[in-house]
């Protein structure tokens, strides 16, 4: 069992979730129940799955939840690209978040490798 709050990957993911909630306020209200809802859901899913996996009994289970978190990471990247391409949000706002998501994804893959060898 791991203390998820001490994991750098969880810390970065929770920071991203906060950022996504903040930028979602910039999106048009008519997207409230569509894109905004989906973006927030994915952003919360990433640190939530890391935390849930850290509480499991075996590393194999943890790896499974890290995989789910990584799926949510790529889903969120796609949604942010879509919002940018639809001109709902400016590239200079979206791109730094996408870069952080790529970093979290890379950390996730590395962490999974580490867990497989222990």
What is the C-alpha to C-alpha distance for residues 6 and 38, in angstroms, rounded to an integer? 27
118 pLDDT band, cuts 50/70/90, is: confident
For residues 57 and 75, the model is more confident at 75
- pLDDT reported for residue 45: 98
The alpha carbon dihedral of 32, 78, 107, 116 has a sign of: positive
Element (H, E) at 77: helix 59-85
- Name the CATH code of domain 4-117 (choices 1.10.3720.10, 1.20.1440.60, 2.40.50.140, 3.20.19.10): 1.20.1440.60
Helix, strand or coil, per DSSP, at residue 19: helix
Closest listed residue to residue 75, CA positions, set 53, 52, 49: 49
Percentage of the residues of the chain whose pLDDT score is greater than 90: 90
Q: Please count the other Cβ atoms lying within 10 Å of the Cβ belonging to residue 46.
A: 29
- pLDDT reported for residue 63: 96
Q: What is the pTM of this model?
A: 0.94
- pLDDT reported for residue 31: 84
For residues 28 and 11, the model is more confident at 11
What is the C-alpha to C-alpha distance for residues 15 and 22, in angstroms, rounded to an integer? 11
Looking at 10-19, 23-32, 35-44, 55-64, which range is the least confident one?
23-32
pLDDT at 102 over 80: yes
């Amino acid at each position: 069992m791991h203390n998820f709050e001490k994991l750098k990957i969880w810390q970065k993911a929770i920071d991203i979730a906060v950022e996504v909630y903040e930028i979602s306020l910039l999106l048009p209200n008519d997207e409230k129940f569509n894109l905004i809802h989906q973006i927030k859901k994915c952003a919360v899913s990433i640190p939530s799955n890391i935390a849930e996996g850290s509480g499991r009994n075996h590393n194999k289970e943890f790896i499974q939840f890290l995989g789910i978190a990584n799926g949510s990471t790529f889903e969120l990247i796609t949604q942010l690209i879509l919002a940018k391409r639809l001109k709902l949000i400016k590239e200079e706002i979206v791109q730094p978040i996408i870069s952080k998501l790529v970093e979290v994804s890379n950390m996730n893959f590395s962490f999974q490798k580490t867990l497989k060898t222990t």
